[in-house]
Amino acid sequence: MIGGAEIGTAILPGVGTVVGGAVGFGVGWWLADKAYDAINSDPLQSTKQARKESHDAYKAFQRQGYERDPNDPCQELRNKIAFHEQMIAARTAHDMSFPNPGWPDGKRHADVNDFDSENVTRWKKELEDCEKSCKR
């Protein structure tokens, strides 16, 4: 392997040796620092951060809720259905992306998803009735 001082000496003996050595030292230091970071980084830290971001986004969406529309009960049902379908999808995606050891099947939110799915099915029937009554 050729060092910076050797290259500097070949270009300009004396001063080039010093400059090349300094540049080589700087490049070597930078490469060593990057290698150290790669070797000693916590691979789980990025996963923990991604999990936290996913969870925070899901919780923020959950807190937002669905848009109420007191003037149009059919639209309110549509909003409620869409919101809960998105919540089910978000929980499922989160569970699959970040499995929890307590739920090795990846279905940590299975109970609440089942509950919401039953409600969505019921609300869809209510929506059909609502839309029929609005057409009269």
pLDDT < 70 stretches in the chain = 1-12, 15-20, 22-23, 28-29, 33-45, 106, 136
Instruction: Confirm whether pTM is higher than 0.75.
Output: no
Mean pLDDT of the chain: 81
Of the CA atoms within 13 Å of residue 1, those in its CB half-sphere come to 4
> Could you tell me which residues are beta bridge partners of residue 100?
103
Question: How far are the Cα atoms of 26, 74, 84, 94, 127 from residue 78, in angstroms, in the given order?
Answer: 62, 6, 10, 24, 7
- The span from the CA of 114 to the CA of 92, in Å, is 11
**Radius of gyration in angstroms for the set of CA atoms belonging to the chain, rounded to a whole number:** 30
Q: Tell me: the pLDDT tens digits for 60-98?
A: 999 999 999 989 999 999 999 999 999 999 988 888 888
